Amino acid sequence: EQKSRAIVMLNRVIEKGSVKCEKYWPSTKDETMSYEDTGFNLKLLCEDVKSYYTVRRLELQRTSTGETREIYHFHYTTWPDFGVPESPASFLNFLFKVRESGCLNSDCGPTIVHCSAGIGRSGTFSLVDTCLVLMEKRKDPSSVDIREVLLEMRKYRMGLIQTPDQLRFSYMAVIEGAKYIMGDSSVQKRWKELSNEDQEPIPGNASPPPQPPKRALPRQNENRAPHLSVGEATDAANNISTEENSVQEKEIKAKYVNNIRKRHREDRIASTAQKVQRMKQKLNETEVKRKRWLYWKPILINIAAVTTLAIGAIVCCSMYFQ
């Protein structure tokens, strides 16, 4: 419909043990997935797997007409939810891979960018790319106010950039990308070297290791184990303390994530309620104006008619007596 040529996916299918996104592309070459409800077939033509991203070339076919179209699927596989990429270099190397395909050119349709919620990682990608495009057009990186660009984008997608780390990373990536805009073409080669894209990819959806078996506590009537030495007891206490701290950190992080999600949900609900209230207010004002006009309309018509007749009578009398 929009003649888009690329999809940029910034999340993994499974993250932290939960499904973040359905796998909507074929797994093997020449495999075809059929979407009967929309009337499309999707086939994987080729795949280029790097250490932290994968580029796929897909063929989309409309079943009713047989029309086909090739699209790219750029999949960033190591960007954690509520987090940031490994470095600005790896992110910019990925961004320029997308650019080199020509999918972000003005003669193509809009590129689809998504993650899980569609505001954190997607917002970071969109903000950095938008700022670099503006710098390129204006030929002056200092003329681009990143904060103002983000606020303008938030008018169309509320909540873009979820965490301070994502905002800080966006600034770092824009500053690094501006070096290329200013004419330093060597930075692109350095980004590729620093990103280590040719290393073996880390399995993104590997299941976590099994939990250790529960320790059986000795009963009072059973023979107790020999006493530990002072050093062994200290080491054991340190291990237990480390485990407890790790559990506490995980609990704090989980509460923090839940609070952020709850706050965003409440913000969305409040924003929707405000919009509905404003719409109702506008409708009420329009209805009041309409009723007021209907009330005054016949009165004004009668006044105009009487005035016209009176003026006509005066003119006739003046002409008669002359």
Query: Could you list the active site residues?
Result: 115
Q: Which of 54, 77, 55, 94 is nearest to 177 (CA)?
A: 94
Q: Which of 162, 167, 61 is nearest to 115 (CA)?
A: 162
Cα 166 from Cα 152, distance rounded (Å) = 17
| CB contact set of 135 (below 8 Å; sequence gap of 6+) | 141, 143, 144, 174, 177, 178, 181
Burial of 172 (0-12, 13-18, 19+ CB in 10 A): middle
| CB contact set of 321 (below 8 Å; sequence gap of 6+) | none
- Locate 263 and state its tokens: 């706050």
| CB contact set of 113 (below 8 Å; sequence gap of 6+) | 7, 8, 10, 122, 125, 126
- Locate 63 and state its tokens: 């079943």
Cα 280 from Cα 296, distance rounded (Å) = 24
For residue 243, how many C-alpha atoms fall within 13 Å in the half-sphere facing its CB? Answer: 7
